[in-house]
Amino acid sequence: MSALLKVENLSHRYATAWAIRDINIEINQKGVVGLLGSNGAGKSTTMNIICGVLNQTEGEVYVNGIDKRKDPRGAKRELGFLPQTPPLYADFTVNEYLTYAATLRFIERIKIKSAVEEAMEKTGITHFSSRLIKNLSGGYRQRVGIAQAIIHKPGMVILDEPTNGLDPNQVIEARKLIREIANDHLVLLSSHVLSEINLLCREIIMIEGGRIVFADSIDAFNSYAQPQTIFVKMDNLPAASELQRIPGITKVEAVSPNSCHLYFSGSSTITQTIIRTSIENNWGLSEISLEKSLLDDVFKQLSHSQQ
C-alpha cells in the first residue's frame, strides 16, 4: 500500500540560498498531522511544493503513490488545499462557487450536483447554498473554503492556518469540522497556534532552518523537554527560603498562600525528597505534581537549537 504522502530528500533553492534541504516525510494513515515552523523556516516552501504551486530544485514528492513531478495532474487529484486566505469569489453563491470548484477538479458533469451537495453537507453549509459568499460570516466562509478542498474526495487535505481570524466560537466549530474531515482524509495542518496543534494533531513535523528538527507524536513533542517545575500544595506552606534549602530546588514561585511552583534541576528523585522533607517538618503536603513543559517552550528549544 502506497504512503498517503512521501517526500524524499526534498530541497529547494531561491537564487543562491537554500530554503529547505533534505526534507523527508512519510505519512501512511489518515488523521491530523501538524506542520510547524517559524517565519522563514521553510514551512511554506515545503507546503507549496507538495501542493504543486512550486517545482522543487531537488528531491521527489509522492501523493498516494503518484510522482508529482512525472504526473502533476494525477498527484493534484489526490490533493485538496485551503490557503491561509480562502480562494473565494464573493459575488458567487455558495452553490455557484462549489459547482465551479467541482468543474476545475474535472469532476464528471453528471456527478457535479451530488458532489456539491455532499461537500456542503459535510461542512454544514447546505442551508446557505443560495446565499452570496460576501454575506457569510468569517466562520462560514472558512467552511466554504474547506468544502472546495474536499469536493473531489482527495486522499490528503492541506489546511494553512484554517482558524486564523475566527472568533472563539468559530474556532471551536472549525476544530470540530477538521476532526470530522480527518476521519476520511489525511489532513496536513499548518498553524502557529501551538495549543491548536496540541488539540488537533496526532503527529507533529517541525521545520527550522530549512530542515526537519522534529517528527514524532504529539506526546513525544510534549515530553521533549524534561519537566523543570513541580506544583505543590501544603497545609503549612513554609517560607520560600526554607523550600530552597531542599537539594535541587533552584527557585520558588508562589501561586497561593498554600501552593507554589518549585523549579528544580538535576535530580530524578526530587519528588521523593520533597515528600520526605514535608513529613519531617509537618508541612502537610496534600498535592504534588510534575509539570510538563509548555508547547511554546519546546518550540523555542527546537528553534534555538538550529540557530
- The grid coordinates of residue 69 equal 513531478
Residue 54 included in any domain? yes
* Residue length of the chain: 307
| Per-residue pLDDT tens digits for 55-107 | 999 999 999 999 999 999 999 999 999 988 888 999 999 999 999 999 999 99
**Averaged confidence pLDDT in the chain:** 89
Least confident of 102-106, 118-122, 189-193: 189-193
145 and 280 in a common domain? no
| 126 close to 187: Cβ distance less than 8 angstroms | no
Q: Are residues 95 and 112 in the same domain?
A: yes
Which uninterrupted H or E stretch holds 141? Answer: helix 138-150
Say yes or no: 262 and 214 in one domain: no
Euclidean distance between CA atoms 195 and 102, whole angstroms: 34
- Asked if residue 65 is part of any domain, the answer here is yes
For residue 70, the enclosing domain spans 5-222
Residue with cell 472546495: 148
Sheet holding 259-264, edge to edge: 249-256, 259-264, 229-234, 285-291
Grid cell 498527484 — which residue?
75
* 119 has pLDDT over 60: yes
pLDDT value for 74: 92
Q: What's the pLDDT score for residue 8?
A: 96
CATH of the domain at 217: 3.40.50.300
As for how many domains the chain has, the answer is 2
Domain membership of residue 303 (yes or no) is no
Question: 267 pLDDT exceeds 70?
Answer: no
Give the integer Cα–Cα distance in Å for 291 and 262: 10
| DSSP, res 223 | T
Q: Are residues 193 and 262 in the same domain?
A: no
217 lies in a domain? Answer: yes
135 and 269 part of one domain: no
Question: Is the domain of 210 the same as that of 276?
Answer: no
pLDDT at 226 over 60: no
Q: To the nearest whole percent, how much of the chain has pLDDT over 70?
A: 92
The answer to the question of residue 40 being in a domain is yes
Q: Per the structure block, which three cell numbers stand in for 25?
A: 516525510
